Structure 1
Amino acid sequence: MTASFEGLSSTDAMDLLRTGELTVAGRLVEASNATLYCTVSSGSVSANCVYKPVAGERPLWDFPDGTLAGREVAAFAVSEAFGWGIVPPTVYREGPFGEGMCQLWVERDPTVDLVEFSRDRENAALCRMAVFDATINNSDRKIGHLLPTPEGHLHGCDHGISFAEDYKLRTVLWQWQGEPLTTEALGGLESVRAQLHDSDSQLADQLANHLTGPERYATRRRVELLLEHRVHPFPPPGRPAIPWPPV
């Protein structure tokens, strides 16, 4: 599944993010870490993006310091391996405040009620996102991280606290827990598994750059367990199942 971004193909968007000049326009003050709204330009081509410098990351007790930006890039790599276009184009690059994550800005459809949208059991795009979150062990899938576009595509953002070794899935998308995975989901997981086991794949390369060996192993095991049991996972025992605040 492909999506265009401000008139750019995904490939052109990635090239622009990697090589364009970043200009900071402002800060998204509701974010817990430094999240800067920017324009990225190259010649006559420009787009809006989000830049999260490593220097602005807030330390967390359960994730190594300075790794959140890389985890966002790893999440994009998994999204691409699925072929579902969940995560907008994302790169790791130098910026005005040092190295960090740079992700293309996605305009959310303002007419969508996100609370109602997040509870939909019949929405195939939401169901795919639940499988994606289980794969990356997303610890923070809030309603506000859902980005349905006016064109009908669904993106997700804010994947910095993902890929923990321990099972820490926290999400507002539990409506399919214990239900069989769709044929589409199983096919996507097979694709991810094949690329995880191919040391020459882009997925394997990106995860090696941004995750530890145990975190990569845990990712492979989550994929294998999902394919073995063929059902959506249940909430982790003894941990909050929904992030707070959920919005």
Structure 2
Amino acid sequence: MLARGELTVRGRIRDASNAALYCTVALDGRETACVYKPVAGERPLWDFPDGTLAGREAAAYEVSHATGWDLVPPTVLRDGPYGEGMVQLWIDTVPGGELLALVDTEEPAPGWKAIGFAEVGEGETALLVHADDERLRRMAVLDAVINNADRKGGHLLPADGGRLYGIDHGVTFNVENKLRTLLWGWAGEPLLPEAVEVLTGLDRALTGTGPLTARLTPHLTPAEIDATRARVTALLASGRHPEPSGEWPAIPWPPV
């Protein structure tokens, strides 16, 4: 449906920094909601000179799908009413338990991981924490692989069936280390066996003739694909979640 259906624009998502349109897509008597982000509505980024935001969003979906975790909603790159763009399945959110919180303590409570201290006004600070949740931990691994420079709290969508999706992956896959996220709670900790297994599969799929390489080639440069595999290899070699490099702001702004 996303790739071949008839795309109809219903409205604009006004708080998006680039053009993002709420649409429906219809095929063979069925219809569903989606988001359409045309390349023509993108603002150029000096530090992401290659490719497009839409292409990187499609590439993030391909990597997510290859992990088997499917943390990114189904996404395609296709023509639309305003030219080529990213089309992604609309996710209706549900109350999914608290994922982020500010607490007036020095240490996180059981079931929570510390991100860092944040100013809350008038010289006061509070500890910013995220849930010690396996879905978030998988998302942290995915972000490390795709080099996500903008993992904000508002990009995390709890959905039916206990699913958790991540959206807005336009600033990813840079050849330089630009990981910027709220999900630092496991920084430096050993990767879970599940993550090691997934990363091993990605490493094979990202070889020169691997299936994932073929799916990423329309969206990324050869250097970006090579850098993606290098990040996977480095994660496997260290066996640990990455830590902030100190060369790039570690937390996105605004964080939500």
Q: TM-score, normalised by structure 1?
A: 0.90
Indicate the larger mover: 165-174 or 117-126.
Answer: 117-126
1:130 matched to 2:140? The reply is yes
Q: Is the 8 A contact 2:151 2:180 kept in 1?
A: yes
**Which residue in the other structure is 2:91 paired with?**
106
1:164-209: CA deviation from partner (whole Å, max 9, x where unpaired): 00000000000000000000000110111111016151x2112111
Of residues 240, 244, 249, the one that matches 1:231 is: 240
Q: What is the CA RMSD across the aligned residues, in angstroms?
A: 1.5
1:243 matched to 2:221? The reply is no
Of residues 72, 75, 78, the one that matches 2:60 is: 75
1 CA distance for matches of 2:147 and 2:30?
35
What 5-or-longer segments of structure 1 have no aligned partner?
Answer: 1-15
Q: Is the 8 A contact 1:92 1:102 kept in 2?
A: yes
2 CA distance for matches of 1:177 and 1:162?
19
**Which residue in the other structure is 2:226 paired with?**
217
How many angstroms does 1:30 deviate by? 0.5
The structure that is strand-richer by fraction is 2
1 CA distance for matches of 2:183 and 2:157?
14
1:1-247 superposed matches below 5 A: 16-64=1-49, 67-110=52-95, 112-116=97-101, 119-197=129-207, 199-201=209-211, 203-247=212-256
SS in 1 for 2:100: helix
**Which residue in the other structure is 2:117 paired with?**
none
How many angstroms does 1:120 deviate by? 3.8
Q: Is the 8 A contact 2:100 2:130 kept in 1?
A: no
2 CA distance for matches of 1:125 and 1:158?
17
1 CA distance for matches of 2:33 and 2:63?
23
1:150-169: CA deviation from partner (whole Å, max 9, x where unpaired): 32001100001000000000
2 CA distance for matches of 1:233 and 1:200?
25
How many angstroms does 1:113 deviate by? 3.8
Indicate the larger mover: 17-26 or 62-71.
Answer: 62-71
What 5-or-longer segments of structure 2 have no aligned partner?
Answer: 102-111, 114-128
How many angstroms does 1:149 deviate by? 0.9
Structure 1 residues 219 and 24, CA gap change in structure 2 (3 angstroms)? same
How many angstroms does 1:111 deviate by? 5.9
Structure 1 residues 127 and 111, CA gap change in structure 2 (3 angstroms)? closer
2 CA distance for matches of 1:175 and 1:128?
12
2 CA distance for matches of 1:49 and 1:158?
13
How many angstroms does 1:59 deviate by? 1.0
1:56-104: CA deviation from partner (whole Å, max 9, x where unpaired): 0011110126511000110001001100010110000000000010000
Query: How many residues get paired?
Result: 231
How many angstroms does 1:114 deviate by? 4.5
SS in 1 for 2:25: strand
Matched-pair identity in %? 56
